[in-house]
Amino acid sequence: MATSALLILAALVGSCAQCTDAVSVNVRKTGPSAEKSENTESYMPMLCSPIPAPFSSSSSVHTLRPDDISAVYVLGVPPSHRLEASRVVNRVAELLSMFNPEVNPPHVAQTSSQPRSLLEEAEELSLSLSHQATDWKFVLLLVPTDSMCACSPDVAADVNAVVQEVEAALELLQKRLHHTLVHVAVWSTDHQQDNRCECMRDEGINRRLHKATLLKTLQDSLSHFLENPKWHSKQADFTAVLQSAPVILEQISENTWSDPNQLAVQLWTNLLQPLTGQTEFMDSSVISILCPSQERPFLRTQINSPSEKEGNAASVDPDMGTEIPCTDRSPSPTTPTSVHELRPGDIKVVAAVGDSLTAANGVGAKNDNLLLVINEYRGLSWSIGGDENITNVTTLPNILREFNPNLTGFSEGIGKEDSPQAFLNQAVAGAKAGDMVRQVRVLVDKMKADSSIDFYNDWKVITMFIGGNDICDFCTDSIFFSPRNVVKRIQQALDILHNEVPRAIVNLVEVLNIVPLRDLHSDKTLGCPTWFVSLVCPCILKPKEGSAELQKVNDLNRAYQSAMRELIDSGRYDTRVNFTVVLQPFLREVYLPRLEDGRPDRSYFSPDCFHLSQRAHTLMARALWNNMLEPVGNKTFTQDFEAGIDLKCPSETNPFIRTAVNSNYTFPGPPPTPPPVTNWGSDFSCVNTAPSNSVPTSAHRLRPADIKVVAALGDSLTAGFGAKAKNLLQLRTENRGVSWSIGGDKNLETVTTLPNILKKFNPNIKGMSKGQGTTNTGFNVAVSGAKISGIPGQVQRLIDNMKKDSTVDFENDWKLVTLFIGGNDLCQYCNDRATLSPQNYTHHMMTSLDILYKEVPRTIVSILEILEIEGLRRIKRDSLGCNVLQPLVCPCFLQAGEDSPELAEVKRINRELQIETENLVYGGRYDGREDFAVVVQPFFQNTVVPVNADGRPDDTYFSADCFHFSERGHADMASALWNNMLEPVGKKQTYNNFRNSRNNIKCPTEEHPYIFTKVNSFPMSTSTTSAPTTTATAPGIHSTALPLTPDCTDTVPVWLAAVLAVVGLLIGCVVTWLIFCWRTKRNKKRMTSVVEMEGTGF
């Protein structure tokens, strides 16, 4: 019997256990820090599955396991960021302590009044460890780059000096230390404004590209130096390894730096043997902790983990030429006077402006030499390069030279925009739309000054391609890089060309869809230097897959393209017969070329997996040429580079470069001005509006049409304070009829409020307020200026009013009560911290809900989290109300200085109030009644400030004081509240995007026609009136739902479960006793004393 039970137990355990090599920890959740190594050890099962280890320590550094390390030492800590570096190293030591709880805390070289070299630090460390010959030690040698100037002409010499210093330090450590593993890591600090050397202050320099190139140069130099066999084969108890990526401490704000946990996990991952096919993780909100496996249990060395050179790119086709199939290559009989009758052979001059894709960074880089990306191969540039000829280099000028061999203006060779060979290629690496005016002015001056160009008579083709770097930076300033502002800067440059350059056709190439480039960095087997591209284009790689941030990138990309089309379709550049601008859209939709195994094909990209290779430039040149010969309105806007691109030719019927005029294209003109908005109503399209067949008895089976009574509690935002105010005199008027949660003026088509939406389901709903003032308030008991302490009194007044109202069946009518409070508490917090503390806030909220819970039957309470008030600091208007009243209304938020401790404190309290509200509501206190439910509606949790077409805060959502909401703002709040009510708990939208669309009203579905509560939000939930159980259904939520039962037969004897439990307990005790005995015996041999390590828990 015992044998049978053991077999059954083993089968059950085997079917449930999962062995993983990585564990993800959400960094948004915080827990108590481990204060001792014993506490830290208890987390080990959550992090890594234990691996059977030998009973004795390793004799070779190449078979070293994490639990063999007895101490951690650090050299090269940058003095300017000693605190941040120490935090990172402490976390690495904590991860090691999961395997050996007795590991010594990290020893960081002491600070000194005078800066010390790595050699001096190594000397001190080797002397202090001279007596330790048997214990295994881990030394992390940091190589700081903060003192190096990335754009200096002496950067190569600086790198060489650093490598020599590292070599000297390692030679000393190798000579004097035994049982030592050294990992070398490049350390860099990414400042928001890196102006430490003169050349970095130059506006025309691509700071990020230079910084990334410096790091790569140092990384490669150290890698080459550490490949020397002397570091790996001289002795079995010492080796030095270079970490595969630099540690980059990013500056988030003036006094805030990137999360040390992420950097520690990066160091930890590179400390272990790499997993085969390991993919790179780009979600910054989740920490992915790599664990040793039975196949790869050791710490990384060059012997047990030979380094793989970055990149597995396919070999580049050496022949980048193109065959010209065109037979008629002759120019016009006489020089044309109209741009609409221009043949390719008539073109005399080519020119280009743009960014690194036109400057051709890295196009000629071979053999995955990332350092060559800094080179600008202008002679190979798709739109302006003129190296060699069309038989081996395909560019637009080389194609045009087949029609006119005397073409001029193209760039050749390698060099910057100011080199003689660049000629009329004035593109600058790192340029954005705002740089186009300067580039265009330089270009015009060069054309006028060059003796080989007849500025007024020669026909010119000018290609402008810009916008990629604007997208890469949009997350740093969404207003500055808004589509409207970016295209406005492009317009300013095009206006200069239009006003000053005769006989020209301008190709405006639509910005490419840049998001697919992320695929190159999601698969580590491609060897793409993701850290490098994260420096160059952070806004593309950092968003999590499927996140709202990534969707915003996609939307922005499309908006840039759309805004460019609107600019050209306005017809503003077709006012002269000898000038036009044509939009060339061939990059609008680009399909990433892939290999046969489905992975992206790196041969189309330069070694950084961001810029394009000569193979891609070849196809872009062909696609641009074809676009130029396709009629406007019918141009190719998708490109599948895998399919190849065949070159087109001018036709006999239309031998001209196509323009809007010779394509018979009619400009749609600017979009029509929308009629003035006369109301803020909404359209209603819901079909399923019927009530339940019988009056429900459960709040979790309540349809919108079952609600008979609405009520609201709160402050001035619920009272409708100044919602219709056009001036300061009207500001004090309470327009309760348009209040978002309780107003009932007119109907939904003209006034969007929650009751007006509910009237579509039940026209006889009661309790809504109408008009203004206190004459017809219904069950709107909100008081302007109220704080949370006044809500219990409002609740009692509401209950009394409901009981007195003869039209309300207090016991049987279903009621919807909305509570929104806390703004005044937060705005005055700095004046009375004790009274307005989060603890008192929670107490008054609990008192209010307790009264409703005990006294009001058949009720759903919607509680709105307090809005994120900080965004109101951006709402400005040149008026007395905004300039004077706004700061007085909310002094603690609006008068605090930017980045001040006072502002930081009130922001923290803001978030605490939100968290305390959720904890109270979902803590199970109000789960005991079937006819009562409390639900948090979180659309204000992450408040998004409404913006206008220019990307600036839209003050039309706010009243005359720039603080309270206008009727437009109330309408948006109403639809957001309603939509939150129809979203399940745990999946509710936590922000309001202020779209103010008339079709923004969600509808109940046939699958779920009910208002969502905590209980009916989860598929496994079933309503119960028994004692609540705390099944973990969502973070911070305790559910009364019954747990999901396994699909097992119900005929299993009860005694079997008891036997299995007892046997399992006995086995666990025996195994645990054996492990502890073995570890105790081993630790006594290895350690003479136990040093407890203070954890800094993740």
Residue 239: CA count within 13 A, CB half-sphere: 23
Report residue 962 CA to chain centroid gap.
Answer: 30
Return the exposure string of 982-991: e unless at least 16 CB atoms fall within 10 Å of the residue's CB, then b.
bbebeebbbe
Closest CA to 889 of 765, 721, 1086: 721
What pLDDT score was predicted for residue 204? 59
Which position has the higher pLDDT, 341 or 952?
341
Question: Any idea which of 151-160, 186-195, 772-781 has the lowest mean pLDDT?
Answer: 186-195
Question: Any idea which of 520-534, 596-610, 750-764 has the lowest mean pLDDT?
Answer: 520-534
Cα 430 from Cα 469, distance rounded (Å): 6
Question: Any idea which of 214-223, 245-254, 716-725, 1047-1056 has the lowest mean pLDDT?
Answer: 1047-1056
The mean of the pLDDT values for the chain is 82
Question: Any idea which of 379-393, 604-618, 796-810, 864-878 has the lowest mean pLDDT?
Answer: 864-878
> Could you tell me what percent of the chain has a pLDDT over 90?
47
Cα 960 from Cα 703, distance rounded (Å): 38
Cα 977 from Cα 989, distance rounded (Å): 10
Report residue 477 CA to chain centroid gap.
Answer: 14
Position 379 pLDDT exceeds 60? yes
Position 619 pLDDT exceeds 60? yes
Which position has the higher pLDDT, 192 or 552?
552
Reading the block at residue 75, the tokens are 């050299």
Averaged pLDDT, 342-356: 97
Cα 180 from Cα 106, distance rounded (Å): 14
Cα 633 from Cα 357, distance rounded (Å): 26
**Count, residues in the chain:** 1098
> Could you tell me what percent of the chain has a pLDDT over 70?
80
pLDDT-based confidence at residue 35 (cuts at 50, 70, 90)? very low
pLDDT-based confidence at residue 528 (cuts at 50, 70, 90)? confident
Position 26 pLDDT exceeds 60? no
Per the CB < 8 A criterion, the answer to whether 271 and 297 are in contact is no
Reading the block at residue 876, the tokens are 């400005």
What pLDDT score was predicted for residue 1098? 33
Cα 29 from Cα 969, distance rounded (Å): 33
Most confident of the ranges 262-266, 395-399, 1043-1047: 395-399
Cα 291 from Cα 287, distance rounded (Å): 13
Cα 403 from Cα 331, distance rounded (Å): 7
Position 6 pLDDT exceeds 50? no
Averaged pLDDT, 86-105: 86
Return the exposure string of 481-512: e unless at least 16 CB atoms fall within 10 Å of the residue's CB, then b.
bbbbbbbebbbebbebbbeebebbbbbbbbbb
In tens, the pLDDT along 295-338 reads 888 998 888 876 544 433 333 344 688 999 999 999 999 999 99
Cα 645 from Cα 240, distance rounded (Å): 50
Position 1050 pLDDT exceeds 80? no
3-class SS of residue 647: coil
Which position has the higher pLDDT, 791 or 6?
791
Angle at alpha carbon of residue 644, lines to 643 and 650, rounded to 5°: 125
The position carrying tokens 């006889």 is 764
In tens, the pLDDT along 396-413 reads 999 999 999 999 999 999
Q: Sort 1024 into a burial class: Cβ within 10 Å, 0-12 / 13-18 / 19+.
A: middle
Position 9 pLDDT exceeds 60? no
Position 201 pLDDT exceeds 80? no
What pLDDT score was predicted for residue 50? 60
Reading the block at residue 660, the tokens are 């809007």
Per the CB < 8 A criterion, the answer to whether 712 and 943 are in contact is no
Return the CA Rg of the chain: 35
Reading the block at residue 1003, the tokens are 């509808």
Averaged pLDDT, 930-956: 81
pLDDT-based confidence at residue 957 (cuts at 50, 70, 90)? confident
The position carrying tokens 């938020």 is 893
pLDDT-based confidence at residue 477 (cuts at 50, 70, 90)? confident
Cα 819 from Cα 715, distance rounded (Å): 9
Position 285 pLDDT exceeds 60? no
What pLDDT score was predicted for residue 770? 96
What pLDDT score was predicted for residue 1064? 64
Taking CA atoms, 593 is separated from 468, 569, 596, 641, in Å, by 19, 31, 10, 6
Which position has the higher pLDDT, 520 or 945?
520
End-to-end Cα, the chain, rounded Å: 46
What pLDDT score was predicted for residue 44? 34
Residue 561 has a CB neighbour count (10 Å cut-off) of 23
Per the CB < 8 A criterion, the answer to whether 996 and 680 are in contact is yes
Closest CA to 742 of 806, 818, 810, 822: 818
Position 393 pLDDT exceeds 90? yes
Q: Dihedral of CA 710/714/716/717: which sign?
A: negative
Angle at alpha carbon of residue 25, lines to 22 and 29, rounded to 5°: 175
Per the CB < 8 A criterion, the answer to whether 460 and 447 are in contact is yes
Mind giving me the DSSP string for 806-846? TT--TTTSEEEEEEE--HHHHHTGGG-TTTT-HHHHHHHHH
Helical residues (DSSP H) of 856-950, grouped into ranges: 880, 886-889, 891-894, 901-921
Cα 138 from Cα 185, distance rounded (Å): 13
In tens, the pLDDT along 801-822 reads 999 999 999 999 999 999 999 9
Sorted by sequence, the CB contacts under 8 Å of residue 39 that are 6+ apart come out as: 1095
Q: Dihedral of CA 1080/1086/1091/1095: which sign?
A: negative
Reading the block at residue 934, the tokens are 């409390």
Mind giving me the DSSP string for 33-97? PP-SHHHHHTTHHHH-------SS--SSGGG--GGGEEEEEEE---GGGHHHHHHHHHHHHHHHH
Residue 1001 has a CB neighbour count (10 Å cut-off) of 20
Reading the block at residue 428, the tokens are 């600058």
Position 738 pLDDT exceeds 60? yes
Sorted by sequence, the CB contacts under 8 Å of residue 286 that are 6+ apart come out as: 24, 25, 26, 27, 544
Taking CA atoms, 875 is separated from 483, 580, 887, 901, 993, in Å, by 21, 41, 11, 22, 16
Position 142 pLDDT exceeds 50? yes
Q: Letter for the amino acid at 391?
A: T
Position 561 pLDDT exceeds 50? yes
The position carrying tokens 């676009």 is 627
Compute the CA torsion angle 545, 915, 866, 792 (nearest 10 deg): 150
Reading the block at residue 287, the tokens are 């920490």
Reading the block at residue 773, the tokens are 């003032």
Cα 1088 from Cα 1093, distance rounded (Å): 16
Position 38 pLDDT exceeds 50? no
pLDDT-based confidence at residue 985 (cuts at 50, 70, 90)? very high
Per the CB < 8 A criterion, the answer to whether 999 and 991 are in contact is no
Question: Any idea which of 468-477, 863-872, 928-937, 1070-1079 has the lowest mean pLDDT?
Answer: 1070-1079
Position 634 pLDDT exceeds 80? yes
Position 869 pLDDT exceeds 70? yes
In tens, the pLDDT along 1022-1037 reads 333 333 333 333 333 3
Cα 412 from Cα 418, distance rounded (Å): 12
Averaged pLDDT, 433-452: 96
Per the CB < 8 A criterion, the answer to whether 268 and 289 are in contact is yes
